Chain A
């Protein structure tokens, strides 16, 4: 499988010379096209920092991140914004929907920023909303719908422009178990049917069990990697829990 995203020796330091914190410490890995990669780790392990650097919303202190041929660590702010617009989709724990726009308009806005035609926008957004089961609530405002629906709207918005990579930061963090399950199944089916490449950060083993590969982060370093291969989801979950219990971090195994 060819390398799609290549993270080479990435480091991220915070603070001044007096009190330096290494959030990410010489991390290297590759993501292939159509992969569903999960990153797990305890709070403060550097997983969100890593995601933010991949998402171009935070810069690296050292190292390189290649999206195919493009080294995003070399891009200027305006180029980064363009890159983000054309290549990345985001799903966050807090949904991050625009509260003044309806569910449908949140998705439409993501397309208008790409200067797509009215027809294309109408067709594309309807298809995506139907796919994610939010067509019926398209005229509601975010405050009027459930957390799960909001998160699916965020997913639809993230995927509407067919990004090279979907970045998800604790996407199920604010959802109840049923809604979390529906969302993860959506991720899985998008990954299978649309060949969407997904990079998900989570501290929840159940969520991670939907991934095809998991990187375990501790103190800013990758200390373990699990590949699902032909394993069933339950089996994979057990494998994850084994890794977590070995490092003393079993939590939330549903």
Chain B
């Protein structure tokens, strides 16, 4: 009998909480699809660094399990409250509380199991989409290949079951504590609108806005970023997210009480009161939803940043097919060349030296002027702290400034299809990373490049991609006439190679294995990576196609989990909003009947509901958009600065917003249609 009752109740609940069921299905589908990335044999075989992806996805799964457990718990308590009268009647009829708990748990598990099965089917589809995206991101072809890994299934099932166990555990306690009276009254609990101290509470609204302004100013213009200030602002932000709704509700109530002009316009009074009472009773949930929206925005935006980095910056990172560094100045690269030639036809190979002149002036200037180093190497008066530079050697720059001869430089430019440059014997040029140059601007007036007999004149900057992560210098190389380098000491050796065929997959490994260095002939301090701080690679043997794949895998392992978290959080938050409204539409149907009686037409009521939903849906979304907009504005700015991407920050945010609005629209339309149906039924 109980089983029959449970099944019938589930059928009814599934209809009432279709949105919840839909979200759980989507969550299972996402879980399954993302987990399959961890277990896919194909990915394991063709992607290097898949371990990073595993760790990141594992981390994402941890947060997702927690948040899904919260959603299930929230929904179970919510349904429990809505159906408490029914449970009270079961108790009155003589059913034991234990039986009711069992019935309710059985129902929840049945609903969950239904969503799980539907999610698995949907998950196979999502898995294909994800695979296709992942493969297109790393420039490989993907042919549809449905994988149903047993371990992936077990992991998805355990995560899902974990969510349920966490939620059931908490809900059971609540059920145990309730008696017939509380069951009968639970549904009515938040019907009474208690207004107290609204005059005081209304100030929370302007205070919250003021805090956000201060937060923005502090982020963008603040200099003192002590951990205490940071902590204070973070705690403040969390508080503001929660207190904002209390303030907003009180502010509206006071406005209505004061008889503000707007309340005398058509249905505004109804809308304002409806909204104020809803956010008042739901203020804590609204705060949590805002936090979820913020995290979703942040996740998606950061994923977008890395995606832009991958698409725009990565290809320029390695302009030569192969670039080999050797600290050994006598290196002739014969071994390496023979390995390469044995594996792939070589179009052109060019070996050359990078020189040094015992000077460190550009290094010091960059260490003390680039934002990435902050005040690390500056004294209080702003002058370079040479002691600090000596003591804590940052691997950004080599131990001396790096020089290159004009002949070598023009030859390398030729290999890259760039025009040669001309320098007279009294001139020098600087080839610098575009990203660094955009930050420094022209600083040649602060440099004195001299040889033993004369001071050279500055003849311009060049910023094309030029392999400056430790090969052609770190960040920069000073190009001087051959006569000048002839008097300098070779610092280290380089071999640049352009190939005439497809790079073999394991070429880099072959080269790495072949390195045989005689330590005595090496000069120290030739290892440098420049001021990179987003993705740093210090590798002697750069084999572009091998490394690109590795880098893209690494970036994917950031992009995918962040998108995953963003999507799940977004769906969870929208489900709560949607279910709240749909349940209200049934519970407070009489409100719309009253409006009909006092003369509102069906179309007017539909318009009113639309506006009511807009306000209710938009409020936490807009609030979250403002908070995350500030944070993304700041983070995006820094990202562009450090990564060298030139994408306007608003694009990162805009893409997340579009994604957000897409998912949002689906939930919004479903809620609106359901709301209208509930209000219209038995009118």
Q: Nearest-CB distance from B249 to chain A (Å)? A: 12
Q: How many A-B residue pairs lie within 8 Å, measured between CB atoms?
A: 94
Q: Is B91 part of the contact surface with A, judged by Cβ < 8 Å?
A: no
- In-complex Cβ contact of B257 among A78, A84, A139 (8 A): A139
With A81-B602, A100-B274 already in contact, the answer to whether A57 and B191 are too (CB < 8 A) is no
Q: Please state if B269 and A109 are interface contacts (CB–CB under 8 Å).
A: yes
Q: Is the CB of A82 within 8 A of B601?
A: yes
For A77, A82, A98, the residue with the greatest tally of chain B CB atoms inside 10 Å of its CB is A98
Total residues of chain A contacting the partner, CB 8 A: 36
With A96-B590, A112-B264, A143-B192 as given contacts, are A101 and B598 in contact (CB-CB < 8 Å)?
no
A16 within 8 A of B: no
B277 partner residues in chain A, CB cutoff 8 A: 100
Most chain B beta-carbon neighbours within 10 Å: one of A77, A88, A112, A115: A112
B604 — which chain A residues lie within 8 A by C-beta? 81
Which of A86, A105, A118, A139 is within 8 Å of B599, CB to CB?
Answer: A86
In this assembly, does A97 line the interface, its C-beta being within 8 Å of a C-beta of chain B?
yes
Out of B266, B276, B596, which one reaches A81, CB within 8 Å? B596
A100 to B603, CA, bound (A): 22
Given contact pairs A81-B604, A101-B270, A90 touches B598 in the complex (Cβ within 8 A)? yes
> CB-defined interface of A7-42 with B at 8 Å, one 1/0 digit per residue?
000000000000000000000000000000000000
Q: Does A1 contact B (CB under 8 A)?
A: no
- A114 to B598 Cα, complex, angstroms: 10
Residue of A nearest to B590 (CB): A96
Q: Indicate if the CB atoms of B191 and A110 lie closer than 8 Å.
A: no
- 18 residue pairs of the A-B complex, CB under 8 angstroms, read A80-B601, A81-B604, A84-B596, A85-B598, A88-B599, A96-B597, A97-B594, A100-B273, A100-B276, A100-B277, A100-B591, A109-B598, A110-B599, A112-B268, A114-B599, A118-B259, A141-B193, A143-B191
CA A214 to CA B440, docked complex, whole Å: 95
CB-based contact B257/A99 at 8 Å: no
Please provide the chain B residues from 577 to 616 with a CB less than 8 Å away from any CB of chain A in the complex: 588, 590-591, 593-604
Check: B423 CB closer than 8 A to any chain A CB. Answer: no
- Complex formed: what's the CA distance from A99 to B263 in Å? 17
Which 9 A-B residue pairs are closest in the complex by CB-CB distance?
A85-B599, A81-B601, A118-B264, A100-B273, A100-B277, A90-B597, A96-B594, A84-B599, A78-B601
Measured CB to CB, the nearest residue on chain A to B592 is: A98
* A108 near B263: Cβ-Cβ < 8 Å: yes
B191 CB contacts on chain A under 8 angstroms:
99, 143
Q: Does B261 contact A (CB under 8 A)?
A: yes
**B185 CB-CB contact with A under 8 Å:** no
Q: Is A121 an interface residue (CB 8 A)?
A: yes
Q: Does A230 contact B (CB under 8 A)?
A: no
Given contacts A81-B596, A101-B270, whether A112 and B265 have CB atoms under 8 Å apart is yes
Is there contact, CB below 8 Å, between A112 and B266? yes
Give CA–CA (A33, B667) in the complex, Å.
51
B597 lies within 8 A of A84 (CB): yes
Chain B residues contacting A109 (CB-CB under 8 Å) are 267, 269-270, 598
Please state if B600 and A81 are interface contacts (CB–CB under 8 Å).
yes
Chain B: interface secondary structure?
helix
In the complex, which residues of chain B have a beta carbon less than 8 angstroms from the beta carbon of A193?
none
8 Å CB contacts to A: which residues of B546-605?
588, 590-591, 593-604
- Closest residue on chain A to residue B265 by CB atoms: A112
Interface residues of A in 95-141 (CB under 8 A from B): 96-101, 105, 108-110, 112-118, 121-122, 139, 141
Q: Which residues of A contact B (CB under 8 A)?
A: 55, 57, 77-78, 80-82, 84-86, 88, 90, 92, 96-101, 105, 108-110, 112-118, 121-122, 139, 141, 143, 157
Interchain CA distance A82-B264 in the complex, whole Å? 19
Write the chain A residue with the least CB distance to B259. A122
CB atoms of B264 and A105 under 8 A apart: no
Chain A residues positioned under 8 Å from B600 (CB to CB) = 81, 85, 113
Q: Which residue of A lies closest to B597 (CB)?
A: A90
Q: Are the C-beta atoms of A108 and B266 separated by less than 8 Å?
A: no
Q: A77-B602, A85-B598, A96-B590 are in contact. Are A121 and B264 (CB under 8 A)?
A: yes
The answer for the CA separation of A102 and B481 in the assembled complex, in Å, is 87
A50–B600 CA distance with the chains assembled, in angstroms: 21
Contact yes or no, B269 A77, CB < 8 A: no
B56 contacts partner chain A, Cβ-Cβ < 8 Å? no
Residue B329 at the chain A interface, CB threshold 8 Å = no
| CB <8 Å contact, B263 and A101 | no
- Would you call B256 an interface residue if the criterion is a C-beta within 8 Å of the partner chain's C-beta atoms? yes
Chain A residue with the shortest CB-CB distance to B588: A99
